[in-house]
Amino acid sequence: MENTIKQVVIQNDKEGIEKRFVIQYSNVDLEGNMIQKIINYDTLSDNDKQIFNSFIDMCLSKNQIL
């Protein structure tokens, strides 16, 4: 069975946590725990870092108080 992404959480240098993203899947392991994978920014290729940074910029541009 393929993993199905439930959500992705971006952590961007806050409260001592390095830049990274956490992929959480709707699938569970044999113990019933949600499967997740942590990808650290420093392990990304230069191209992937550029995409990550552009995504953060896009998110910040949408940070408008209504």
**What DSSP designation does 42 have?**
G
Q: 53 in a domain, yes or no?
A: yes
* Beta strands, E only, the chain: 5-11, 20-28, 34-40
| pLDDT tens per residue across span 20-29 | 999 999 888 7
| Beta bridge partner(s), residue 22 | 9, 38
Query: Based on the structure, what is the number of domains in the chain?
Result: 1
Q: 24 in a domain, yes or no?
A: yes
Residue range of the domain that includes 41: 5-61
Q: 66 in a domain, yes or no?
A: no
Cβ contact 40:30 at 8 Å: no
| pLDDT tens per residue across span 15-48 | 788 899 999 998 887 887 888 999 999 999 999 9
Q: 12 in a domain, yes or no?
A: yes
